Structure 1
Amino acid sequence: MNDKPTVLAVDDAPENLHVLMELLKEEYVLLVAKDGEKALQLARNREPDIILLDVMMPGMDGYEVLGELKSGDVTKDIPVIFVTSLDEAGDETKGLALGAIDYITKPFNPDIVKARVRNHLSLREAVRIREDVERIMRHDLKSPLTAVISLPQLIRMSGDYDDHVISMLGRIEDAGYTLLSMINMSTSLFKMERGIYHFVPEKMDLAAVVRKVFVGLEDTARMRGIGLVLEIEGEAAPADQEFFMIGEDLLCYSMLANLVGNSVDACPKGEAVKVCLQRKVDSVYISVRNPGEIPDEIKSSFFAKYATAGKDRGTGLGTYSAKLIAEAHHGEISMINIDGEVLVNISIPQS
């Protein structure tokens, strides 16, 4: 079995293909195509590890080929390096904007060609390894969680315990289910980032989800002297009031757990974090509010990946994942900081 990476070189000039083959033949399996149609056929059938794609070709040019590659499920993740002439000003910028990862110029500099191909293949392999490790960790973490979830049930069955012990066992069990949900959620977020998440909405009680989030945060909020308030249609909600919507229960839990958790961290002592639910026309509106200010350095990147400020152990992934989840619901999310209050607003269509 040949374990060399496969490189597809696409150029309408045979002399250019010959140069590339001579440069790369020792380290890689080479595929060649002289036009866009042949390049797409090879990419779909052979799935090369990287593609060197000439910009200027008769018929289907490099931009059109790149667009077809990026629109195909089999080929969209194959890295593409554009090949341009030194006098083709602006080609590099356009190619990068369309999804190419890099460019090399003709006439070829052998060292640059080899370095660019090698570096991008190494980066792709590093991403694959990281994703494999994450998948293994998600799988392996589920085994010990089975004990965390099942042992409280067995303990309750083994004897008579007072209400305090039963309550504590219930909280351990709930924490286990929460961790299991978080592990499963990491797989879902991975798919959302790549645009391949399969959204399966069902009728759900959003008020019950909010109350479950509050239970998970009540100890932290109590220690910090912070209230947790649920409002429905502008009024404080009694403990049994429901609020139904169409969505995914686990996704909504994760989204609100992140947003409310961040609000609890930022809320001044003696104040309250509010989650407000409203229904308007064909959409559900969720607002997470807390008194305070957003640091200037993250106002413009509040929902960006890894954006964080003021928390030593913050990952900057909470608001980013909330944005992905809102968008998975075909909704929108925004943040405003006005009159001494931070509001994160989410709208989710229901039609």
Structure 2
Amino acid sequence: MTEKPTVLAVDDTPENLHVLMDLLKDEYAIIAAKDGEKALKLARSKDPDIILLDVMMPGMDGYAVIRELKADEQTKDIPVIFVTSLSEAGDETKGLALGAIDYIAKPFNPDIVKARVRNHLELREAVRLREDVERIMRHDLKSPLTSVISLPQLILMSGEYDEHIKSMLGRIEDAGYTLLSMINMSTALFKMERGTYNFVPESMDLAAVVRKVFIGHEDTAQMRGLELVLEIDGSVAAVDQEFKITAEELLCYSMLGNLVGNSVDACPKGGAVRVCLQRQEGAVRISVHNPGEVPEEIKKRFFAKYATSGKDRGTGLGTYSAMLIAQAHGGDISMESVDGEVTVAVTLPQ
């Protein structure tokens, strides 16, 4: 038998607690607290699925309680709905700013109470399910991908091969990196949106990442007569020239994959897509250039979620995810469309 979700109801007025318990007892397991201190103890010991929290209480009020809940690693993810008779908009704004997900006004409307509790619990369960599925996918897919990525290099080390074989093995390796990046990014972007992503930078060669991205778009570029150019500090990069930075390699791979892919799609036939890497004081600048124009209807929402224009395919998430990745690094991103050239520039602190 499936256990009922647990609701913690917090109110200093016994009559209000009884009303809430009567409304919810058939669908949920209800625990109650008459003050903020008891509410915090129950939240930590019982791990409720949702908290209905009165705002106006003597001693520790609801605002103080939610501050404590959100500051505690054990309780920070428990959704909190404020229950209040306050009518001023500023009070609602304050509660939402502290991390509440909703408000229920007194006197209670039974249908509204039930609907809001049910909806927020369903949302929380959906998030949990999504995280579980993605965790399983990441675990189950990473093992075979490790072989896809590592075996091409082992094969090349085992003997002499012509350039055609080397090229095919390189494409297998790059395809593996692309899949690994997609698996990692599916969860990483969700965490970035929620502000819970754990950023772990390390020394990496950004020029090598750009070259891997170019290989992934090589076929499309050749079919359309496009040139893919890497420049370092103002000059075309040598074949093995490095550009060391401190960042997360897979995030940079995903970000550049999206930005270069967008540029390849938008670049007119016979044009060139350029990726320019430059060192600045305390930062690096990564800019992706292509000849063309950004449609007026999309300029103001270029980095917005699901923003797209004139494409039969695509999700409209490429530039949005690039923005999240830049921000995860503590950097920023911008776009300008001037005199027939589009430039998307990312600045990362170093």
TM norm structure 1: 0.89
Matched, 1:138 2:141: no
Partner of 2:126: 126
Q: In the alignment, which residue of structure 2 is the partner of 1:225?
A: 225
Task: Give the distance between the partners of 1:69 and 1:301, measured in 2 at CA.
Answer: 35
- Deviation at 1:265? 1.0
Distance 1:253 1:160 in 2: 29
Secondary structure, counterpart of 2:45 in structure 1:
helix
**CA distances 1:44-84 after superposition (whole Å, capped 9, x unpaired):** 23221111111222233223322332333222222221212
1:143-199 deviations in whole A, cap 9, x for unaligned? 554665577679879998654234323322332233223323434334333333333
SS in 1 for 2:256: helix
- 1:89–1:211 Cα change, 3 Å: closer
Equivalent pair of 1:7/1:50 in contact (CA under 8 Å): yes
Q: Give the Å deviation of 1:235.
A: 1.9
> Is the partner of 1:124 in helix, strand or coil?
helix
> Could you say which residue in structure 1 is the equivalent of 2:48?
48
Deviation at 1:348, TM superposition (A): 1.3
Q: In structure 2, what is the equivalent of residue 320 of structure 1?
A: 320
For 1:296, the equivalent position in structure 2 comes to: 296
Which moves more between the two structures, 7-16 or 237-246? 237-246
Counterpart in 2 of 1:210?
210
Q: 1:138 Cα deviation (Å)?
A: 3.1
What per-residue deviation string (whole Å, max 9, x for no partner) do you get for residues 250-278 of structure 1?
A: 22222111111111111111221111111
Q: Which residue of 1 aligns with 2:4?
A: 4
Given that 2:131 and 2:187 are in contact with CA atoms closer than 8 Å, whether structure 1 keeps it comes out as: no
* Residue 273 (structure 2) aligns with: 273
In the alignment, which residue of structure 2 is the partner of 1:19?
19
After superposition, where does 1:24-39 map in structure 2 within 5 Å? 24-39=24-39
Q: Secondary structure at the match of 1:9?
A: strand
Closer, same or farther: CA 46–295 of 1 in aligned 2, 3 Å:
farther
CA distance 1:162–1:262, shift in 2 (3 Å): same
Identify if the C-alpha distance between structure 1 residues 255 and 25 changes in structure 2 by more than 3 Å, giving closer, same or farther: same
The answer on 1:334 being equivalent to 2:326 is no
- Give the whole-Å Cα distance in 1 for the aligned partners of 2:59 and 2:292: 59
5+ long unaligned stretches in structure 1:
none
C-alpha distance 240-160 of structure 1, shift in aligned 2 (>3 A):
closer
Q: Give 5+ residue unaligned stretches, structure 2.
A: none
Contact 1:84 1:92 in 2 (8 A): no
Question: Could you report, residue by residue, the CA deviation over 1:196-225 in whole angstroms, capped at 9, with x for unpaired residues?
Answer: 333332222222221221122111111122
**Between 228-237 and 139-148, the greater mean CA deviation after superposition:** 139-148
- The answer (yes or no) to whether the contact 2:171–2:215 under 8 Å persists in 1 is no
Shift of 1:2: 7.2
Could you tell me which residue of structure 2 aligns to residue 263 of structure 1?
263
Superposition deviation, residue 311 in structure 1: 2.1
Q: Distance in 2 between matches of 1:102 and 1:5?
A: 18
How does 1:100-249 map onto structure 2 within 5 Å?
A: 100-142=100-142, 145=145, 148-149=148-149, 162-249=162-249
Distance 2:88 2:158 in 1: 78
CA contact (8 A) 2:174 2:212 kept: no
User: What is the CA-CA distance between 1:330 and the residue it aligns to?
Assistant: 1.6
The secondary structure found in structure 2 opposite 1:59 is coil
Equivalent residue letter for 1:282: G
Does 2:70 match 1:70? yes
Q: Deviations over 1:96-150 (max 9, x none)?
A: 3443222211111222211221122122212222222233333343455466557
- Residue 220 of structure 1 aligns to a residue whose secondary structure is helix
What SS class does the counterpart of residue 81 from structure 1 fall into? strand
**Deviation readout 1:4-54 (Å, 9 max, x if unpaired):** 101011112121111111211222111212222322232223221111111
Bigger Cα displacement from structure 2, 46-55 vs 29-38: 29-38
Aligned-partner SS, 1:45: helix
Q: How far apart, CA to CA, are the structure 2 residues paired with 1:80 and 1:162?
A: 63
Task: State the distance in 2 between where 1:298 and 1:42 align.
Answer: 49
Q: Is the 1:301–1:307 contact (alpha carbons within 8 Å) kept by the matching residues of 2? A: yes
Number of residue pairs the alignment of both structures matches: 350
Shift in alpha-carbon separation, 1:307–1:60, aligned structure 2, 3 A: farther
Q: Distance in 2 between matches of 1:48 and 1:119?
A: 16
Please give the secondary structure, in 1, of the residue aligned with 2:203: strand
